[in-house]
A = this chain, B = another copy of it.
Amino acid sequence: MTPHPEPGTVDRASATGTKVRLACRSGAIAGCTAGMADGYVQGNLAVFPERIADDFRLYAERNPKSCPIIGESRPGRRDIPELGLDLDVATDIPMYRVWRGGELVDERPDATSIWRDDLVAFVIGCSFSFEAAMLEAGLPLRHVERGTHVAMYRTSIACAPAGPFAGPMVVSMRPLTPAQAIEAVQVTGRYPRVHGAPVHLARPDLIGIEDLQRVDDGDPVPVGPDEISVFWACGVTPHSVIAAARPDFAITHAPGCMLVTDRLNTDFATD
């Protein structure tokens, strides 16, 4: 994880979404946005040429737990008014990834110079929102306690395909006691637009995970003797799908470097 540059005058945890976006735009923030703008929804970014945007939208609609779309730009536009008034998807993320033919070819802090008139930006709900709800309910998050990235795994669960978009679901894992897992299902189930309830628990072998210590992304965490593994659909799924779909061109956020919006997590709860 890139260390944060000098924090300047902004207390980032209590900052608004707008303030964090402007700090990203100016280059003052260049790394992970975890813990910033408490209470505000953060999103994953996936940008495709208009030609395949309909296929991606359909793919997302068919896989709402992995790819819950919370905002979308009009072709060529860099604003998404429903997520924030002063919002530019080409500048407001700390770090972008650029993909050509399914290969990661570049990481850069600004996407202005590679933006095109035919691009459509999709913003996808992110686990930071339901993690905030879990912490508020008193549930532990081991990767947060350890200051690491959440453990992620490619599974044997196939996503429903659409056009060139197909591939396995990627999940994130959080260890919990059985009683905590039951509470976590209820807490995160109230946030269907940010992945919602877990997709699996207790039996990693049933979804193709042989060894929890061998992660496909993020960092492994220990699972205690009185704990079970609990798995949520992960917004990184589109990244693995890009590798499979091999679109000519795509832009995503770099892991952990999210788009901070003006929407509140509480807006996304169903009760």
Contact = CB atoms under 8 A, between A and B. Distances in A.
A181 B197 contact: no
Interface in A149-190: 177-179, 181-182, 185-186, 189
Nearest to A199: B179
Contacts of A226: 203, 206
Interface string A190-219: 000000011111110010000000000000
A200 B185 contact: no
Contacts of A200: 178-179, 182
Contact of A186 (B181, B197, B203, B271): B197
Nearest to A181: B201
A200 B201 CA distance: 13
A182 B203 contact: no
A47 B226 CA distance: 38
Contacts of A133: none
A210 B201 CA distance: 21
A228 interface: yes
A258 B200 CA distance: 35
A86 to B, nearest CB: 36
Interface residues of A, number: 19
B182 A202 contact: no
Contacts of A178: 200-203, 206
Contacts of A198: 182
A182 B201 CA distance: 8
A202 B228 contact: yes
Given A185-B185, A186-B186, A189-B186, A228 B199 contact: no
A199 to B, nearest CB: 7
A226 B201 CA distance: 12
A197 B178 CA distance: 12
Nearest to A231: B178
Contacts of A199: 179, 182
Contacts of A179: 199-200
Interface string A106-121: 0000000000000000
21 contacts: A178-B201, A178-B202, A179-B199, A179-B200, A181-B201, A181-B202, A182-B185, A182-B197, A182-B198, A182-B200, A182-B201, A185-B185, A185-B197, A186-B186, A186-B189, A186-B197, A189-B189, A201-B228, A203-B226, A203-B228, A206-B226
